[in-house]
Structure 1
Amino acid sequence: MNIIVEEKQVTAKQGELILGEMTFVHANDEFYIIDHTGVSNEARGLGVGKKLVVAFVEHARAKNMKVLPLCPFAKAEFEKNIDYADVLFQN
């Protein structure tokens, strides 16, 4: 499985098959907002959503940005994993 971080989305692919995607927006020069995470029916239960979050957290760290997870799935992942606290946007 390949995880690709692009300008407005993170995509999980197996060959040409899209297993899942996460969309985000730049709120400003300080933080990103995750607004959607989706996984295909064929990929449910394979941890694709978690892998999307991990890849995006690494991207945010590399860019020295914070993350505001508004998507229910991403928000739950941030609440479960204290290792993401360094990139969590606090308003």
Structure 2
Amino acid sequence: MDIKHGTNKFYFGDDPQNPDGELTYLPDDMNKLVIDSVVVNKDLRGQGLGDVLLDAAADYARENNKKLVGECPFVAKRFDEFPEKYKDVIFAEA
């Protein structure tokens, strides 16, 4: 799976304007990425592709010293289910 990084999003598919799946985020001035949406084409759901997108965002956060905020219900649930996998990139209030 070739995950691409576009403007405020990670996605897969040939058309960045109409991808087969995407994770969108809102950057802020505190080195956080607020993930507001993860959407996968209905024909591709159930294959773990949302997790692949989240993993790409987590890898990007690690490489760029950023933290993630799971505003999207899917991401918030994954953070709760797999705290060890994401603990180093989850933003926590001080």
TM-score normalised according to structure 2 size? 0.87
Offset from partner CA, 1:32-87 (integer Å, 9 cap, x none): 10001111111011111000000000000000001111000011111111220011
Question: Contact (CA 8 Å) 1:10, 1:21: kept in 2 or not?
Answer: yes
- List, as ranges, runs of 4+ consecutive aligned residues in structure 1 with deviation greater than 6 Å: none
- Long gaps (5+) in structure 2: none
The more displaced of 79-88 and 17-26 is 17-26
What is the CA RMSD across the aligned residues, in angstroms? 1.5
8 A Cα contact 1:19 1:48, kept in partner: no
1:56 equivalenced with 2:57 (yes/no): yes
Matches within 5 A, 1:62-77: 62-77=63-78
Structure 1 residues not aligned, in runs of 5+: none
* Number of residue equivalences: 90
Change (3 A) 1:29 1:6: farther
Measured after TM superposition, the shift of residue 19 of structure 1 is 2.2
TM-score of the superposed pair, with normalisation by structure 1 = 0.89
CA 29–7 in structure 1, closer or farther in 2 if over 3 Å, else same: farther
Q: Amino acid of the residue matched to residue 88 of structure 1?
A: I
SS of 2:88's equivalent in the other structure is: helix
